[in-house]
Amino acid sequence: MTQVSRYPLSPTIYKRIFEILFESILKIKNKEEAEEFLGEFLTPTEKIMLAKRISVAVLLAKGYDYQQIRRILHVSPPTIAAVSASMKYTGKGYLQVVKKLLKEEKIKEILLNVVEGIATVGAAGGKGSGDWWQLKRSLDKKKREKEF
């Protein structure tokens, strides 16, 4: 479990440490840099905790109920309730990130469907079209692997 010193920081120091944190996050340019930074910056437990929280927010935005979220992510109802309350009452930050994630996911889904359509048409081509079947199988596998 994470621990914070019981000795309070001065308001100036408190403000400055968060400026440094936010600026550090803004300097990350791509997924690989994010993985590397967070891998070194956070403990495995902290990474899982944060990943589950944002995933709860995504699932709530997609309309999943508490029981489904519990089953998929193995989180407690109080965790789901806390994320839900934050999204409803103070979650401007959550909502911005979740909307961007869902928009990107929707674009990927549309592109996957287009490629699948092309693969299906190509797969019906008869002799010499074996590569199309491999593409279609690969696309079907990707769809099955995605639970949420």
In 76-86, which positions are buried (b, 16+ CB within 10 angstroms) versus exposed (e)? Answer: eeebbeebbeb
Instruction: Give dist(CA 80, CA 1) in Å, integer.
Output: 18
Residue 103 lies in a domain: yes
Whether 70 contacts 77, CB under 8 Å: yes
Residue 29 lies in a domain: no
Residue-range definition of the domain harbouring residue 120:
42-145
Instruction: Give dist(CA 128, CA 139) in Å, integer.
Output: 20
pLDDT digits (tens, 9 = 90+) for 45-102: 999 999 999 999 999 998 999 999 999 999 999 999 999 999 999 868 888 998 888 8
For residue 66, the one-letter residue type is: Y
Handedness of CA 81, 87, 91, 97 (dihedral sign): positive
Residue 138 lies in a domain: yes
Dihedral angle of Cα 54, 60, 62, 63, to the nearest 10 degrees: 170
Mean pLDDT of the 21-42 span: 94
- Residue 92 is predicted with a pLDDT of 86
